[in-house]
Structures are given as structure tokens and as C-alpha cells.
Amino acid sequence: MPSKPAKFQIVWLQGITCNGNTHSFLNDPLLGSLLDKVRFLYHPILPSQMSLRELVVKIPKSDLLIVEGAYRGDFERGGAVMEKLLPALAARAKNIVALGSCASFGGIFKEASPESISGIVYDKSEATGPLAAMREKVINLGGCPAHPEWLSFVIGMMLNKRKVALDELGRPKELYAYTVHNGCLRNDYFEWKVDSRSFGTKEGCLYYEQGCQGPFTHGSCNKILWNGVASKTRAGTPCFGCTEPTFPKTDLFRTKTYMSIPSEMPLGVPKRSYLALAGAAKSFHIKRLEERLIDDHA
């Protein structure tokens, strides 16, 4: 009898992090069936074969190295500096995932020290990180945090030996070809240029005034819902563009405008065409969109 095939071995390494991707991953509703197929050689919270000390000494081979958190060369994990630890683990890994915006592009922690902190392949959108030479085997899952289903999708593809199609920033097209605007429940309002006017309502589009970056942010937050039930825009919160290398921008709850037109256009839309379209759409007054959807709360 042939022995059971070896489980897919994963090392989960943390750089400069808040642990948000770790806790996001724990929300995966099908974590149990995933864990049947994989084995964590090291994970910071889940049971794993090695301690951190053992990991940094043994530098095991793995099928997948998941890196959570931003990179800084002299940052230490388990007494080892990232400058040595990360390339060593990466060289012995078949695949690598940069999980979340910190590992992908530098993220929020990069703001503290922009010269020395970066993602593992990308520094913002420049491929100058420590693993730039290995970029072919690195998949970026931008997002602050990354959605658990984004990670389990990628692991599933690897388990099934399928190739993941990537965009120009190394993100799976399956997840990032969409914009956050896709599937947003406020799209009616966007089409007819009806602004939400205020926070705390489910009516109106958040792109015109409230800073929503959904129309030009790659991500499937409104396709694969958060915690199975929601998304930022569904809860009335603007999208902050957290999957992009530009995250975090500044002045996040206000739309920058030029002559009262949003200065950043929906993805792929030329400003001139947008102006023509917006002018026409605004001339409609659709009563349905100017009223509360459900006005009897009692």
C-alpha cells in the first residue's frame, strides 16, 4: 500500500504586524476542512509542529511560506533578523504568499519608517523588496487585512495544482480584477450621481463626498462578503483602498474634488467622458433615489 500523500506544509512567518491577518484567517468558516489538507510547520497561534525557536534554527522546507507583516531588515523574530530569516525560508519554499497590505506593499507600518520598511517584493508599487528576485513565486494578497477566503482560495489552487493568474502587482485576478465598487449595494446611486449627503444612512453613494475609493480599488469585498454578511460600504463606511499599494492615503473620509468633481476617476474612465456622463445623469431626478428606502422603522 502506498503511504498517504504528505500533507501540504505551511510556514506562517510574521514581520512587523498587528496580527490582523492571523485573526482574519481564523474566521474562515471552512477552516476545519482546510486544516485536514495542510499542516502548519509553524503558525503563531494555531497548533504547529515547530516552535518559533526551532523554525529559525531549522529553516525547514515548505510547500508554502505565508508572510504576514511588513519587512525591515533588522527586525527580529525568534532572535533571528529578517534580513537572513526571510530569504532563507523563501529559498526553501515552493510558493510564497505575501498576506495583507503590509507584506505586499509596506502598508501602514511603512509610514513609521518609509526608507527602511517595505513589502517582501514590492515597496509600494516598486519591485525593490528583499524577495524581488523571487517574484515569480510570490502571490500578493493586498488588503488590511486580507479576507480569509482570499487565502483559502489561493491555498486551494495550490492543493489542486492549478496556476493562479496574477495582475501586474502579483495579485490573483480572480480576486482583484473586480473593484470594491462591484457588487456595492449603492450602485444605483452611483449611476445616477446621487450623493449620500450624510453618514449613517443606507441611501446614496459614498464616492462623491465621503471619500469612498471603491470605484478605483481592486478587491472583491462586495463579492466575497466579510464575515459572510457585510462589507465596509454595506455598513455605510467608505472604502479606504486598503488592497492597493497606495494605502494608507490621507484625509480618508473626504473625497478630494476638483471643481466639485471627484479628482480620482472610476477605474478606466477618462475624466472628460465622466463629466459628460455625470452631467446627463444628474439631470435626472429619480424620486425613488431621493427618498428613504424603508422609512417606517417602527
115 near other proteins, judged by CB under 8 A: no
108 binds other proteins (CB under 8 A): yes
Interface with other proteins, residue 26, by CB under 8 A: yes
Q: Rounded to 5 degrees, what angle do the CA atoms 233, 169, 55 make?
A: 95
Q: How far is the CB of 238 from other proteins (least distance, A)?
A: 8
Number of residues that bind other proteins (CB under 8 A): 64
The number of beta carbons lying within 10 Å of the beta carbon of residue 175 is 25
Among residue numbers 55 through 74, which ones bind other proteins (CB under 8 A)? Answer: none
- Binding residue for other proteins, selected from 126, 199, 280, 290, defined by CB under 8 A: 199
Instruction: Single out the residue of 53, 84, 92, 94 in contact with other proteins (rule: CB under 8 A).
Output: 53
Residue 199 corresponds to which cell in the numbers above? 453618514
- Copy the grid coordinates of residue 205: 453613494
Choice from 52, 59, 224, 289 touching other proteins (CB under 8 A) = 52
For other proteins, the binding residues in 210-269 under the rule CB under 8 A are 221, 226-237, 240, 248, 250-254
Q: Compare residues 36 and 136 and give the one whose CB is closer to other proteins.
A: 36
Sites of contact with other proteins (CB under 8 A) = 14, 16-24, 26-29, 31-32, 35, 44-47, 51-53, 75-79, 108-109, 111-113, 144-145, 198-202, 221, 226-237, 240, 248, 250-254, 294, 297-298
